[in-house]
Amino acid sequence: MFKEVFDQHSWEEVKSSIYAKTSADVERALAKEKRALEDFKALISPAALPYLEQMARLSQAATRKRFGKTIQMYVPLYLSNECQNICTYCAFSLDNKIRRRTLTNAEILQEIAVLKQMGYDHVLLVTGEANHTVGVPYLKNAIELVRPYFSHISMEVQPLYQDEYEILMAAGLNTVLVYQETYHQDNYKIHHPKGNKSNFNYRLATPDRLGKAGIHKMGLGVLIGLEDWRTDCFYTALHLNYLEKTYWQTKYSISFPRLRPIEVGTIDNTALKSFATYMSDKELVQLICAYRLFNEEVELSMSTRESEKFRNHIIKLGITSISAGSKTNPGGYAVAPQSLEQFEISDERSPQEIAQMIRQQGYEPVWKDWDHALEISKKL
């Protein structure tokens, strides 16, 4: 179990080690063909920022070598904003007095119709964490509704047990995203004071349960801005390294969610709540390139949290999948477009506008899963 590996590392010692890295450490890391975790520390350290142009060139070359000039398109479908957890950064938090909504079968089909008109063939199902409302029976039913319309189904919901994942995989589930939010165990409880999500160790063990279930692909990541991003992202790389060695038949992806403003307040009087973002755009580019140089196989995903300008510039630097036209509220595409969002979207361009931007940069937008896309890419 990853917990055994995790317990061998001290947050403060890891943090100190990263910030102690020098330009010599960075240069040694860049000179290698295969990089270890200590090299990853150097590449995410402040000492690496002057080497960003070189990192970007290497990252671009490594990404093209493995994935070709393709960018996978995916879209989130929010099924419910009901949640039993209190999380300090999320609009769906139990203590936020908002109208709750869980989509019916008919409403899910309405949303699907809009997504198919957009051209999507890869959908990400998202809910709050509410076992009593959106537990395994609801999720299984939703997957069965979605399956005839999409070739790849991903899911981002509450952590489940191994046998529950196996039930959903049999129904058609391909990928599960589960973010630790932060690997800072002492402060984790501050950000998650109530609900099942407050159990740090249960959440930490979720990728192990997914690996044992034999999931096709799983997504990892932290919520950038909760704690020191460099230290949190080292732990993500440590987790990825362990998982790839232990569950080698599963594919992996990394996401980069930076904290965004959310709405909080009463049902009739909402206000905007902002969080400081402890990472600059330049540092996010550094992190993306560092992950690619550490691991040429991992998929790197960029959501509409980021700005139009930033997403335009990141296409060639290591990203392999991107969302577009996203709505982060249940029913946001067709049923209830004005209901409360989980977080504020930054890039509001349509999927077709994003696809055109990708083509203008010499890349091909791919609407299906990578297995099919790579076959096409190799023939080009």
CA atoms within 13 A on the CB side of 111: 33
Q: What is the pLDDT of residue 225?
A: 85
Q: Is the pLDDT of residue 339 over 50?
A: yes
Q: Which CATH entry fits the domain spanning 70-225+251-277+296-379: 3.40.50.10860, 3.20.20.70, 3.40.50.2300, 3.50.50.60? A: 3.20.20.70
Q: What is the pLDDT of residue 277?
A: 45
List pLDDT tens digits, range 156-174: 999 999 999 999 999 999 9
Beta bridge partners of 270: 265
pLDDT class for 328, splitting at 50, 70, 90?
confident
List pLDDT tens digits, range 33-45: 999 999 999 999 9
Q: Is the pLDDT of residue 262 over 70?
A: no
Q: What is the pLDDT of residue 337?
A: 60
φ and ψ at residue 253, rounded to 5 degrees: -135, 155
Mean pLDDT, residues 57-69: 96
Mean pLDDT, residues 362-369: 88
Q: What is the pLDDT of residue 66?
A: 95
pLDDT class for 229, splitting at 50, 70, 90?
very high
Q: Is the pLDDT of residue 268 over 50?
A: no
Contacts of 159 (CB under 8 A, 6+ apart): 178, 196, 202, 203, 206, 209
Q: What is the pLDDT of residue 100?
A: 86
In this structure, what is the dihedral angle of CA atoms 99, 307, 155, 329, given to the nearest 10 degrees? 20
pLDDT class for 87, splitting at 50, 70, 90?
confident
Q: What angle do CA 61, 67, 73 make, to 5 degrees?
A: 120
3-state SS, the chain, equals CHHHHHCCCCHHHHHHHHHCCCHHHHHHHHHCCCCCHHHHHHHHCHHHHHHHHHHHHHHHHHHHHHHCCEEEEEEEEEEECCCCCECCCCCCCCCCCCCCCECCHHHHHHHHHHHHHHCCCEEEEEECCCCCCCCHHHHHHHHHHHHHHCCEEEEECCCCCHHHHHHHHHHCCCEEECCCECCCHHHHHHHCCECHHHCHHHHHCHHHHHHHHCCCEEEECECECCCCHHHHHHHHHHHHHHHHHHCCCCEEEEECCECCCEEEECCCCEEEECCCCCCCHHHHHHHHHHHHHHCCCCEEEECCCCCHHHHHHHHHHCCCEEECCCCCCCCCCCCCCCCCCCCCCCCCCCHHHHHHHHHHCCCEEECCCHHHHHHHHHHC
Tokens representing residue 104 in the block: 């019916």
Q: Is the pLDDT of residue 240 over 60?
A: yes
The more confident residue out of 340 and 192 is: 192
Q: Is the pLDDT of residue 260 over 80?
A: no
Q: Is the pLDDT of residue 375 over 90?
A: no
Query: Mean pLDDT, the chain, as a whole number?
Result: 90
Please state the pTM of the whole predicted model. 0.90
pLDDT class for 142, splitting at 50, 70, 90?
very high
Mean pLDDT, residues 50-68: 97
Q: Which amino acid is at 108?
A: I
CA dist., res. 330 & res. 338, Å (int): 10
Q: Is the pLDDT of residue 303 over 60?
A: yes
Q: What is the pLDDT of residue 263?
A: 45
Asked if residue 52 lies in contact with residue 308, where contact means CB atoms within 8 angstroms, the answer is no
Mean pLDDT, residues 127-145: 95
Q: Is the pLDDT of residue 276 over 90?
A: no
Instruction: Give just the sign of the alpha carbon dihedral 346, 279, 219, 250.
Output: positive
Q: Which amino acid is at 308?
A: E
Q: What is the pLDDT of residue 378?
A: 42
Mean pLDDT, residues 108-137: 95
pLDDT class for 343, splitting at 50, 70, 90?
low
Q: What is the pLDDT of residue 73?
A: 96
CA dist., res. 365 & res. 353, Å (int): 11
List pLDDT tens digits, range 193-219: 998 999 999 999 999 999 999 999 999
Q: Is the pLDDT of residue 377 over 50?
A: no
pLDDT class for 338, splitting at 50, 70, 90?
low
Q: Which amino acid is at 161?
A: Y
